[in-house]
Amino acid sequence: MSIPFPADKLEKIVRTFSLTEDEKDAFLKNANRIICHHGGDHPEIIIGSIAEFAECIAGSKGAGYIPGITRETVGDVHITKIDPPCGSNTYILETKEGLLVVDAGYPCYAKELMQTINSLFRDFVSMQKELIITHIDMDHVGAMPFFNRVYMNAASRENFVLEKTGRVNYRTKKVDRAPFYHVVEILTEYSTPSLSNIVLFDSVKPDYSLPLSYIGELKAAGLTFSAYEGFGGHVGGSMVFIEKEKGIMITGDVLVNPDGYTSGQKAFNRLPGSLAGGSVNEDSKKAVAERHAVYELMKGRKWIICPGHGAIFKSQ
């Protein structure tokens, strides 16, 4: 039988995140729904995971935002990876033509991320700021408001249109998964980003019978990416970007590299799956098919792979 989220843990989260009464009520309602849907015979495990998730998010703000910084060079392209304690990787691709940023972390770390980028690239503040979003998960879109141009496909834009018009978005269409994502919205200060800086680039309608379908080219910072859209394994609209001339592949969460996790990231990254019902993928079978389609794209040459989470690696 389900038990409610404990009052003492709730009050600690309210104090830590300075939640309003409405936010407190929404958090409690959704925490209890998570317990109901996924607690099973051991609801205390789910309660502990909710509290641990909140602690990780809070502990990685401000002075706790200590990202790993790694660099790779591919020909004349310099790749910098910003790897935060919680959430997705952010990549900065530096060419003679400028800088291109890929993915933008949780919204609650947006200022910390931008400060980090500015510290690494002193001229960034005066540059045209361009961002690629690989997909619409909250830990990939947080700093969108800080960019002049945000490149994405029509499917991803549609997710934000759904949100703005009060309809169910891609993440929350399944009743048993929605409460976790609502908790994440509250804890990470998520709100639907503006659509004013979005630039659509897909020129080919995706074939959703394929795990990955070519949807067009994206040109930015002197680079030309072939873009492929998945058929809904991880989340709707997920994309993989391939720079064939340079041998760079950006996979978002279609492909991650758990071998690159720190101990803290390993602990954090196991929580979303358990709180969303066992997996962060919308459809696990489709997610496997998408991943195998990425491996097929790798065949025939060596690539530098930039995954959504974990370390950069080279294909065999």
**pLDDT, average across residues 180-207:** 97
Yes or no: say if 135 and 253 are a contact pair by the CB < 8 Å rule.
yes
Q: What is the Cα–Cα distance from 170 to 181, expressed in whole angstroms?
A: 11
Q: What is the Cα–Cα distance from 244 to 216, expressed in whole angstroms?
A: 13
Q: Which residues contact 267 (CB under 8 A, 6 or more apart)?
A: 52, 56
Quote the pLDDT of residue 218: 98
pTM score over 0.95: yes
DSSP, collapsed to helix, strand or coil, labels residue 165 as coil
- pLDDT, mean over the chain: 96
Tens digit of pLDDT for each residue in 203-262?
999 999 999 999 999 999 999 999 999 999 999 999 999 999 999 999 999 999 999 899
Extract the tokens encoding 110: 């947006």
> 77-91 burial, b if ≥16 CB within 10 A, otherwise e?
bebbbbbbbbbbbbb
Yes or no: say if 69 and 81 are a contact pair by the CB < 8 Å rule.
yes
Nearest Cα to 250, choosing from 133, 96, 122, 158? 133
Q: What is the pLDDT confidence band of residue 2, given thresholds at 50, 70 and 90?
A: confident
Does CATH number 3.40.50.720 belong to domain 62-314?
no
Q: What is the pLDDT confidence band of residue 1, given thresholds at 50, 70 and 90?
A: low
User: Where do the domains of the chain lie?
Assistant: 7-59, 62-314
The CA R_g of the chain, rounded to the nearest whole Å, is 19
**pLDDT, average across residues 151-167:** 97
Extract the tokens encoding 186: 């509250």
Quote the pLDDT of residue 167: 95
Q: What is the pLDDT confidence band of residue 11, given thresholds at 50, 70 and 90?
A: very high
Quote the pLDDT of residue 164: 95
Quote the pLDDT of residue 41: 87
Q: What is the Cα–Cα distance from 249 to 307, expressed in whole angstroms?
A: 8
Q: What is the Cα–Cα distance from 137 to 282, expressed in whole angstroms?
A: 12
- The percent of residues in the chain predicted with pLDDT above 70, rounded, is 100
**pLDDT, average across residues 106-130:** 95
Q: Is the pLDDT of residue 115 over 90?
A: yes
Q: What is the pLDDT confidence band of residue 122, given thresholds at 50, 70 and 90?
A: very high
The arrangement of strands across the sheet holding 304-307 comes to 212-220, 223-230, 239-243, 248-252, 304-307, 313-314
Q: What is the pLDDT confidence band of residue 316, given thresholds at 50, 70 and 90?
A: confident
Q: What is the Cα–Cα distance from 242 to 224, expressed in whole angstroms?
A: 8
Q: Is the pLDDT of residue 116 over 60?
A: yes
Tens digit of pLDDT for each residue in 270-310?
999 999 999 999 999 999 999 999 999 999 999 999 999 99
**pLDDT, average across residues 63-89:** 97
